[in-house]
Amino acid sequence: MAVEINDEAKQIVHDLGAAINLAVESSADVAAAIERLREAGYEMELTLRLEIGLRPYSNDTETDTEATLSLTDEDLRTLRKMKIRIDESE
């Protein structure tokens, strides 16, 4: 089911993508890892695919849905490198 979004929402999504890209580009951890690869004799080509899914926001307090998120160790490492913290106890 595709959701139609207005121009303002499209711009916000674009801004979010740009902010994430900037965070990765300016990450000292990412730069250090790339430098270590170069020192090991490798050049790196990095392609990240960002997929943002949107759905209409509902402030319906009667809805009691529980979502689960399964993350691999690699997912967690990537998020930590981007300075995104996940509370794994929940």
pLDDT tier at 2, thresholds 50, 70, 90 = low
- Asked whether residue 4 carries a pLDDT value surpassing 60, the answer given is yes
pTM of the predicted protein model: 0.51
Return the CA Rg of the chain: 18
So where are the chain's domains? 7-57+68-81
| Alpha-carbon distance values, 78 to 31, 50, 62, 85, 89 (Å) | 14, 13, 35, 10, 18
Could you report the per-residue pLDDT of 16-72, keeping only the tens digit for each? Answer: 988 988 888 889 998 899 899 999 999 988 777 777 777 777 776 655 566 676 778
